[in-house]
Structure 1
Amino acid sequence: MAEVVSPAGTLPHIPDDLTLAQFVLDAEHVRKPVRKSGAWIVDDQSGRNIELEELRVRTYGLANALSIRYNIQENDVVLIYSPNHVDYLVAIWAAHRLGAAMSGANPLFTVDELVYQINTVKAAVIITHPDSLKVALLSAHAAGVSADRVILFDVEGADAAQRVTVQGMVSQGLASAPHFTERRLAPGEGRTKVAFLNFSSGTTGHPKAVAIPHFAPIANIIQVATHHKVGEDYAAQRFKPGDVCCAVLPLYHIYGLVFNTHYAFFCGMTVVLTAKFNFLEFLKSIIRHRITHLMLVPPQIVLLCKHPAVKDYNFSHVRYVTSGAAPLSREVMEQLVQIFPNADIGQSYGTTESSTVITTCALDKKCDLSGGAGQLLPGIIGRVEKPDGTLADFDEPGELVVKTQSLALGYANNPEATKETFVNGWLRTGDEVKMNRKGEIVVLDRLKEMLKVRGFQVAPAELEGCILNHPDVTDTCVVGIPDDYSGELPLAFVVLRPQAAKRIGEDPSASDEIKASIIKHVADNKVAYKKLAGGVEFIDVIPKNPSGKLLRRVLRAEAREMRTKPKAKL
């Protein structure tokens, strides 16, 4: 098989002298349609509408105050530790106006997890939500960040006494003389100027900071817009001004950050921003706001297919549904058609390292029910490599390797990991796929060791390090087992210390107690999606190769076999 160049269109000019904030808020582009007047963002809970001019004003006010109060400037990092909030994007754009970068953190992180991210990116300030304030303050203290550099998003009813708030900062910035000059990039500088430090789990036990330049998300927005012929006059346009999309995906995740918001703004759409996902409330929101576009992940799709409440709603106004972050089966996709009879339906595929979308549903397919992840976007070249490095044939499995304009710079301060993943301008995705002559792919499995749990990457080595701290454990290996809802669930194979094994020999009921203790130990130290929801299995020895590397594939196969064996009747 030769390298496949996407047949989905030719890319227009991609500006390399703009920040993402300038591209979305200020600039025109040949692909950018004329937006109808109205809201850019709707707060799902309150119904508050925010239009472009208010977003620009609030962005300027916050940027000015960040410069005045904290001297935020070139190459500083603003860390946001919060669920979605109407000012989340304003905070990002304010950082960009100042020449700073943004790093988003999962609001459910524990202190240890957040301290690691603060230290890794060297955060200058932390913007958080009242619900996350306690952990934010403890983490800031542990990382040596002053408590007065922890800023609160404004939430109605929350006690923000004696705390610096975003609204207070905006007011200060607007009431003060200009204290900064907006960053203007030189031609080509957008390709190297870092906009985001998004985290992607590796296999070494700790997530890695993906350094994403401004050019990358701008390129991806234009790639997706070109694929869908945004701005052209044709029947049944997929994305156009006046459309309304949900934004229930977290903005600290690359999917929510680029495709679900910045791309939607570029298309002239209104984004209904939801702070925290609640399925029953989400169903009401689709009706209340007449949402036409749903960008979702597999757990949400599975709920739509299985929850009994769905039958009480008429979703005939929904025109587009896509799922990303993990594969969905053909059977699930067929169920979606029954729920959304008038929608274009398909799957998308992307990575943090590619600043989001690599493939999405082809424009000539109203509903792609194949279980595939769509077609390579315009400007992307793809190939499939077999384990020996040779090219796979069409429809033959192997690792997907791509070249794209939206490529990240690499992993910040991690040259070894960068060399493994970013090779001569190509991205090694670590995903096993099959690809046809049209550049359409089907994702088969993960070749990299990390798991995909509810769309989030989970490093087995990180969980293994935590499990090894349990007093009853002498060795362990974590693998993923398939799950319809979460995609994968972490399962730990554990070798017990002799004393623990002896306790079980004397009292078999101790087995369940030790397993429960190990599961609780991980739950107490890791964010919820990293818990051992697949369970714990005891094993005599962890299989390893001669160099000591864990043979995960052996245990993954064993785990799947265990799950398919019928249980013995008592």
Structure 2
Amino acid sequence: MTDFTTPSTIPLSIPDNLTLPQFILDTNHPARVTKRTLSSPWLIEDATGRGVGFEERVGSSQVGDRSFAHAFQVRHRVHGLANGLKLKYNVAEGQAVCLFTPNDIDFPILIWGIHRLGAIVTSANPAYSADELAYQLSTAKAVNLITHPDFLATAFAAAKKAGVPAERIIILDSAHPSRPSSSVPTIEEIIAYGLSQPTSFVERHLNPGEAKTKLAFLSFSSGTTGKPKAVAISHYAPIANIIQMAVHQEAKKEERIKPGDVALGALPFFHIYGLVVQMHFSIFCGMPLVVVPKFDYVRFLESLIKYRITHLFLVPPQIVLLCKHQATPKYDLNHVRFVMCGAAPLSAELTQEVIKVLPNAAIGQGYGMTETCTTVTMFSTKRKIAVFGSAGTPLPGTTLRVLKPDGTFGKVGEQGELLVHGPSNALRYANNAEATKETFMDGWVRTGDEVIIREDGEVFVELLKVRGFQVAPAELEGHILQHPDVADTCVIGILDDYSGELPMAYVVPRPEAAKRAAASPAESEKLKASIIKHVADHKAHFKRLAGGVEFIEVIPKNASGKLLRRVLRDRARESRKGQPKAKL
């Protein structure tokens, strides 16, 4: 049996008696760069430049080439929210509060205020329908629902279906200071009320080890079949992952993360990648986080310039835009120094393209999932540009195994399912013993992802096996995206008796190409042949698209941008029933 780890000379020292807000707001961990946390805003509202910092005092600071006057009030607002929720709604320990909103400057305040009461946070995708939201409210047994004014109608409908009283709905008002409805209280009112009253709650001080079992989040996994599952995450898990990443990135050395660095919060906070890596890790490392409610590419570019953003946490579709969008060359992005791409593998071709766009940036990938409370692997500080196609090396304190189809454990270079053991692993699926048994095994998480791990610890995720040769879908996707008529693509493997698997590409054509293909079957076949030739002319024979090309209107992705390959594999399987098997 081979266990894959990354040795570290720095002790992790993960506290097991703190809640997440106690760790972030009340303590100074040895891995943290504390001198910057009090001198700059923690959060900046993208549209207005409004900054929110640590404590209640008026100050000003420089972020990028802009000066910000702001009230330093994170702790102040967290206390006011917790006290207001307790006084007005009697939110109690162990109860869940649902956040149904896009990114907002008050999102972290909501999390930490709820946690101060010992309650649980469950964040929902604002794109959810009323039925989808009602399912999450019911599954999490939420007692309150906090939403954005734009989603109030859906919130009311879902609350009614789930049995959450309408009077327990609260709206965020930072984007809409004027109240849309006099009957719906606002977060600002709850905070003001809480600050005007004596403290009505006693914050729990956990016993040693209690943070490992006390629930902080019920985060719903995106799943590709069936309804999403509620992943039960303890306070210890995100704390551990933050420390692991800080040690892995050597934050204390102030090389990859320096004074004056600024991170962009464009990934959704309701998703685990945006929640733990983008939000909490950035704040822990002293980087102001510019909060972007909704991703719009041109506005994204403008924000990079406006705030002199240095650190980006992205997903492959955003990398594709950086490389292919016509607006990109209009902006000087030389100040960007760090890019981490997660949620799906990034091809060598796409990495080489983004290096040209961001020449001064350290660029690499990370891998994680909701069930591991985020990061499992991450590119290291030893390389400015990560190994092409690699998801990085294991974080300190994390152990990986490779489970082969025959039930034995793989060695270096052998392919199989990735198993993860580490301090940040989630506890279980809430109220779902059968699914828990399938995924969580004696401290290990079965990821369902196929990997190969090299001698140097570099991990390569999602590989096809064609005639015994390993083929990375991300490599083919990166190459296909260079075709002038391709807007997006996803490569899957289709089963074949002769070759084992054959690469097949689902392709979203660019608008003009889509019109040509729709107008004539002959043009459609011509375009498919052109894409197949584009791969065949530049790749080894076993990497050719022997499984064919199919056009699709949109590539299915989850909220973080991860390609939902299983959805397309199921679609391909259904469409090929009864057809003769392909051969090379």
TM-score > 0.5, shorter chain as reference: yes
1:91-490 aligned at under 5 Å gives the runs: 91-154=110-173, 155-156=175-176, 159-162=179-182, 163-202=184-223, 205-232=226-253, 237-445=255-463
State the Cα RMSD in Å.
3.1
Aligned to 1:35: 35
Q: Which secondary structure does the structure 2 equivalent of 1:231 belong to?
A: helix
What amino acid sits opposite 1:131 in the alignment?
A: D
TM superposition shift of 1:10: 4.4
| Larger mean Cα displacement after TM superposition, 434-443 or 189-198 | 434-443
Q: Which secondary structure does the structure 1 equivalent of 2:371 belong to?
A: coil
What TM-score do you get using the length of structure 2 for normalisation? 0.77
- Deviations along 1:288-342, one digit per CA (max 9) or x if unpaired, are 0000000011111110010011011111111100110011110000001101111
Q: Which secondary structure does the structure 2 equivalent of 1:345 belong to?
A: strand
TM superposition shift of 1:99: 0.2
Q: Which secondary structure does the structure 1 equivalent of 2:75 belong to?
A: helix
In 1, distance between residues paired with 2:352 and 2:263?
22
In 1, distance between residues paired with 2:464 and 2:169?
38
Q: Which secondary structure does the structure 1 equivalent of 2:424 belong to?
A: coil
What TM-score do you get using the length of structure 1 for normalisation? 0.79
1:540-559 aligned at under 5 Å gives the runs: 552=570, 555=573, 558=576
What amino acid sits opposite 2:291 in the alignment?
A: L
TM superposition shift of 1:201: 3.6
Change (3 A) 1:225 1:42: same
In 2, distance between residues paired with 1:249 and 1:222?
21
Q: Does 1:63 align with 2:82?
A: yes
In 1, distance between residues paired with 2:116 and 2:239?
16
Give the alignment partner of residue 51 of structure 1, picking from 53, 74, 77: 53
Give the gaps of 5 or more residues in structure 2. 56-72, 466-473, 475-502, 510-551
In 1, distance between residues paired with 2:9 and 2:385?
20
8 A contact 1:298–1:485 mirrored in 2: no
In 2, distance between residues paired with 1:485 and 1:310?
21
TM superposition shift of 1:378: 0.4
What amino acid sits opposite 2:240 in the alignment?
A: A
In 1, distance between residues paired with 2:576 and 2:369?
28
In 2, distance between residues paired with 1:112 and 1:274?
27
8 A contact 1:11–1:222 mirrored in 2: no
Q: Does 1:21 align with 2:42?
A: no
In 1, distance between residues paired with 2:223 and 2:394?
25
Q: Which secondary structure does the structure 1 equivalent of 2:388 belong to?
A: coil
In 1, distance between residues paired with 2:327 and 2:420?
41
8 A contact 1:193–1:213 mirrored in 2: yes
- Deviations along 1:52-106, one digit per CA (max 9) or x if unpaired, are 1101111111110100010001001010000011111111101110000100000
Aligned to 1:542: none
TM superposition shift of 1:240: 3.4
Aligned to 2:495: none
Aligned length: 480
TM superposition shift of 1:232: 2.9
TM superposition shift of 1:6: 1.6
- Deviations along 1:245-268, one digit per CA (max 9) or x if unpaired, are 000011100000000011111111
8 A contact 1:4–1:437 mirrored in 2: no
What amino acid sits opposite 1:45 in the alignment?
A: A
What amino acid sits opposite 1:112 in the alignment?
A: D
Aligned to 2:543: none
Q: Which secondary structure does the structure 2 equivalent of 1:112 belong to?
A: helix
8 A contact 1:33–1:241 mirrored in 2: no
- Deviations along 1:2-47, one digit per CA (max 9) or x if unpaired, are 1112235543210011110110111111111123201100100111
8 A contact 2:122–2:217 mirrored in 1: yes
Q: Which secondary structure does the structure 1 equivalent of 2:313 belong to?
A: strand
Percent identity, aligned pairs only, is 47
8 A contact 1:9–1:227 mirrored in 2: no
In 1, distance between residues paired with 2:564 and 2:26?
46
In 2, distance between residues paired with 1:377 and 1:558?
41
- Deviations along 1:159-183, one digit per CA (max 9) or x if unpaired, are 4231100001011001111111112
Q: Which secondary structure does the structure 2 equivalent of 1:326 belong to?
A: coil
8 A contact 1:318–1:340 mirrored in 2: yes
Give the gaps of 5 or more residues in structure 1. 453-479, 487-518, 538-550, 566-570
In 2, distance between residues paired with 1:485 and 1:33?
45
Q: Which secondary structure does the structure 1 equivalent of 2:34 belong to?
A: coil
In 2, distance between residues paired with 1:533 and 1:370?
22
Change (3 A) 1:485 1:424: farther
Change (3 A) 1:73 1:208: same
In 1, distance between residues paired with 2:12 and 2:438?
31
What amino acid sits opposite 1:127 in the alignment?
A: I
TM superposition shift of 1:203: 6.0
- Deviations along 1:382-407, one digit per CA (max 9) or x if unpaired, are 11111111122322221111111101
In 2, distance between residues paired with 1:41 and 1:484?
38
